Amino acid sequence: MSTATPARETSDLADKKLIESRSIDYIPDSERHGHVFSQFTLWFGGNLQITAIVTGALAVVLGGDVVWSIIGLLVGQILGAAIMSLHAIQGPRLGLPQMITSRAQFGVYGAVIPLVLVCLMYVGFSASGTVLAGQALAHLTHLSNNAGILLFGAIIIVVAVLGYRLIHGLGKVASVVGIATFIYLFFRLLVANDIGALLANNHFSLPMFLLAVSLSSSWQIAFCPYVSDYSRYLPRDTSAGKTFFAVFSGTVLGTQASMTLGVVAAALAGKAFAGNEVGYIVGLGSTGTMAMVLYFAICFGKITFTTLNAYGSFMSLTTIVCGFRKTVSISQNGRLLFVVLMVGLSCAIAIISEPSFLKSFTQFLLFLLAFFVPWSAMNLMDYYFISKGHMDIPALADPNGRYQRWNLKGITTYILGVLVQLPFIANGFYTGKLVWLFDDNDISWIIGWVFTAIFYLLIRRFDRHPPLTRTLYPS
């Protein structure tokens, strides 16, 4: 005779169910499951992939040396990952995906402003990753690059529709595959080349050092809008410290390993790397069979990472639509439609932009900071210092409730946070008038984050609602 309680039985059922039924709605305690270690494997395995390699390589391709590029990338990882991991803590506490919490800062309708920008980010990241994965899959299956892109897109749709549990399962497998692959790649690079000559490439340049910091910090900060999407099913009493450390260590170790490989590969390959990133990495395989294994590893690594973007885009698009419909969930058909729409758009962009991928991706990655740094600062200041971790969750779906339709204070702060960065931005999209003060280096993200955080704390002192003393959950 079973002694399991109904709540425990419900939890067991939720733990075993493969196809996710939840979307942006609150995850009740009876459906919470998993262990904090899954946060490490997801972000570690998800970052052991080709796009991170290419991003790290940019530090050298654009003029940096080996040693200081690696150091600069590590500094950026630590800064960006610390901010990202603070967002991850919100998942278990609130049981909500990341971007719906923006309604507390922007209003139920006003949250559409950062949400639209987040969707653009998802599409851009997915498109850039699909280019590289499509190339690898094309070689693996003897198809054209465009056919490889479309086939890869179809795989992403299936995984994203199945949802949370499968994504975390892929993260675990990706960690194992990634570790084995990267050990082999580093071995091939280091054994076949003069490491002393490589390390002699050590000439400090402040502009190139700050470029490396910006590349890696922007990589990490770009995860902030969806990091708690993948921690929201953890039990509510999961340690905040353990959640932070699992996400932080996973994303820093995984990304730094990838970007270091990219730096070394680009330094050794010279001009042969840019435009032939996948081909060069696979060329490190000593046999035809090993080359095929590397193509498979590249494809598999990109499945996890690109699925994060597809799943996140579904969450963000659902949050936009449900906000105006005054609902908290969407049907399975709606879920499929949104995922197909976002993945299809990413594939179309990937097919069109493939020849100029490397340059376009650099500019895109750095420009993203101007729009997500102020959002991150507002979200964290609100959670940790204004609401002190408490939220009226039912009010997030009520335009007439505590969080209003349009929160003008939050929207104004966000706009100012973006504008204050413009004079200090330096990339292919825009160059500000004051970049000369910092030797033409882009430090806009630091200025934007600090300014927005301070201004938001000051302006929220005049709220009409008293602060909550406890989180209000759906009845």
Tell me the pLDDT tens digit for each residue of 370-405: 888 999 999 999 999 999 999 999 999 999 989 999
Question: Residue 443's pLDDT is what?
Answer: 83
Q: What is the mean pLDDT of residues 3-32?
A: 64
> Architecture of 32-462 per CATH?
Orthogonal Bundle (1.10)
Q: What is the rounded CA–CA span in Å between residue 330 and residue 130? A: 27
pLDDT band at 6 (very low <50, low <70, confident <90, very high): very low
Q: Where are the domains of the chain?
A: 32-462
Q: What is the rounded CA–CA span in Å between residue 86 and residue 94? A: 13
Question: Residue 312's pLDDT is what?
Answer: 83
Question: Residue 360's pLDDT is what?
Answer: 65
- Looking at residue 414, its amino acid is Y
With beta carbons less than 8 A apart as the criterion, state whether 111 and 103 touch.
Answer: yes
Structure tokens, 425: 């931005």
Question: Residue 445's pLDDT is what?
Answer: 87
Mean of pLDDT over the chain:
85
Please state, for a pLDDT cut of 90, what percent of the chain lies above it.
37
Q: What is the mean pLDDT of residues 31-48?
A: 92
pLDDT band at 296 (very low <50, low <70, confident <90, very high): confident
Question: Residue 222's pLDDT is what?
Answer: 86
pLDDT band at 17 (very low <50, low <70, confident <90, very high): low
- Least confident residue range of 7-21, 183-197, 432-446: 7-21
Structure tokens, 341: 């729409």
Question: Residue 14's pLDDT is what?
Answer: 45
**What is the pTM (predicted TM-score) of this model?**
0.88
pLDDT band at 4 (very low <50, low <70, confident <90, very high): very low
Q: What is the rounded CA–CA span in Å between residue 86 and residue 241? A: 10
Taken in order 321, 326, 331, 333, the sign of the CA dihedral is: negative
pLDDT band at 132 (very low <50, low <70, confident <90, very high): confident
Closest CA to 31 of 52, 9, 53: 9
Name the range with the highest mean pLDDT among 40-49, 78-87, 280-289: 78-87
Question: Residue 7's pLDDT is what?
Answer: 42
Question: Residue 419's pLDDT is what?
Answer: 95
- Least confident residue range of 17-31, 56-70, 104-118, 442-456: 17-31
Question: Residue 146's pLDDT is what?
Answer: 87
Closest CA to 297 of 180, 183, 190, 187: 180
Question: Residue 3's pLDDT is what?
Answer: 43
Structure tokens, 44: 């570690």
pLDDT band at 275 (very low <50, low <70, confident <90, very high): low
Chain center to CA of 85: 11
C-alpha distance from residue 50 to each of 130, 183, 206, 346 (Å):
10, 15, 27, 17
Query: SS3 sequence, the chain?
Result: CCCCCHHHHHHHHHHHCCCCCCCCCCCCHHHCCCCCHHHHHHHHHHHCCHHHHHHHHHHHHCCCCHHHHHHHHHHHHHHHHHHHHHHHCHHHHHCCCCHHHHHHHHCCCCCHHHHHHHHHHHHHHHHHHHHHHHHHHHHHHCCCHHHHHHHHHHHHHHHHHHCHHHHHHHHHHHHHHHHHHHHHHHHHHHHHCCHHHHHCCCCCCHHHHHHHHHHHHHHHHCCHHHHHHHCCCCCCCCCHHHHHHHHHHHHHHHHHHHHHHHHHHHHHHHHHCCCCHHHHHHCCCCCHHHHHHHHHHHHHHHHHHHHHHHHHHHHHHHHHHHHHHCCCCCCHHHHHHHHHHHHHHHHHHHHHHHHHHHHHHHHHHHHHHHHHHHHHHHHHHHHHHHCCCCCECHHHHCCCCCCCCCCHHHHHHHHHHHHCCHHHCECCCCECCCHHHHCCCCCHHHHHHHHHHHHHHHHHHHCCCCCCCCCECCC
Question: Residue 362's pLDDT is what?
Answer: 58
